[in-house]
Amino acid sequence: MGKRQVLQRRGRGGSVFKSPSWRRLGRVGYPQITEETGSVEFTVKDILHESGRAAPVMSVKSQSGMNALMIAPEGCFVGQKIYIGPKAALNVGNVLPLSSVPEGTMVCNIEGKPGDGGRYVRSAGGYATVVSHTPDGVLCQFPSGGIKTFPKECRATVGIVASGGIVEKPVLKAGSNYHKYRARSVKYPRVRGKAMSPYAHPHGGGAHPKGGRPVARNAPPGQKVGIIASRRTGRIKK
């Protein structure tokens, strides 16, 4: 009798892979504002930590009593006044539609669709650069170098996501990694397939650590690992 792979166990679910959503602060995104011409003033009430998220979260409140949780950019502080709207100034922390952001500006927490609250560039230290404005939308370049086109109505925060130096903090022991991934609903540690026995993984076994064989696209879930539906294999002849 074989053993279920990690991919199969994750699909089945269970306490190991359950996301601790009860530890979350709530929805972290832009508030739904109907103001389309001016800007709405918010005040930063507190800067919070959310379990499983490296970037800090700021709690903001408007003069009308509207509360929201937003990704905190680098340089924000408690008591700061931020503005959301097309007429807002180009200051760190303000939220503007991409049509109002000039080229070369660093932004974060970009909406994928107008009104979704922000979907892109939300990790600690992340930022995107507005490259150009076209009739089809606004082009933004990600830290990876990729360029994506967004609708002009999508909103973004001016600045860089805070806590960028968290990647420089050393992981002194494996337990720290365990708790970090546990908060993000990721199983840790993860063993390589070719380090297992044959009953536990298709890549397991053998006198030497070798890779697996190409697997068909229509293979069942327990067999579909490694090189899936490869176009070609073997050495390239010149």
Domain membership flag for residue 99: yes
How do residues 66-114 score in pLDDT, each as one tens digit?
999 999 999 999 999 999 999 999 999 999 999 999 999 999 999 999 9
Q: Which of 126-135, 164-173, 206-215 has the lowest mean pLDDT?
A: 206-215
SS3 137: strand
Who wins on pLDDT, 187 or 162? Answer: 162
Domain membership flag for residue 44: yes
- Expressed as residue numbers, the domain containing 108 is 21-164
Binned at pLDDT 50, 70 and 90, residue 36 comes out as low
Domain membership flag for residue 137: yes
Query: Can you give 150-195 as a three-state secondary structure string?
Result: ECCCCEEEECCECCHHHHHCCCCCHHHHHHHHHHCCCCCCCCCHHH
**Which contiguous run of DSSP H or E holds residue 10?**
helix 6-12
Domain membership flag for residue 230: no
Domain membership flag for residue 207: no
CATH number, domain at 132? 2.30.30.30
Domain membership flag for residue 34: yes
Binned at pLDDT 50, 70 and 90, residue 161 comes out as very high
**Which contiguous run of DSSP H or E holds residue 12?**
helix 6-12
Cα 111 from Cα 104, distance rounded (Å) = 18
Span 182-200, average pLDDT: 88
pLDDT at 35 over 70: no
157, 93 in Cβ contact below 8 A?
Answer: yes
Indicate the number of domains in the chain. Answer: 1
Binned at pLDDT 50, 70 and 90, residue 149 comes out as very high
pLDDT at 220 over 90: no
Instruction: Supply the pLDDT for residue 1.
Output: 60
Cα 178 from Cα 58, distance rounded (Å) = 27
Domain membership flag for residue 130: yes
pLDDT at 231 over 80: yes
Domain membership flag for residue 210: no
